[in-house]
Amino acid sequence: MVIFRWIMGVLAGLFAAGWAFTFLMYVLRDDDRFAELGKRLRHFTTLIALFWFNLEIWGRVVWTIVTWNSPRT
């Protein structure tokens, strides 16, 4: 699970950095293409973050259900 967290963290970080860069370029150059690209990158960043969060929560729920009655050592 640690590898998955690193992969999702790096992926979300790259998309967030791209989003910030395109927003900065939009502000500096006033080019609508950067606004559209920034909006798309923002949506993908949110999608990745929500997918990550959802998988973490539901993974813990499934783990709890599977190991509910297992003896503790």
The predicted-structure confidence for 10-49, as pLDDT tens digits, reads as follows 999 999 999 999 999 999 998 889 999 999 999 999 999 9
d(CA 70, CA 73) in angstroms, rounded, equals 9
Cα angle value 40/44/47 (rounded, 5°): 140
pLDDT for the residue numbered 52: 93
Looking at residue 34, its amino acid is F
Q: Quick one: average pLDDT of 52-70? A: 92
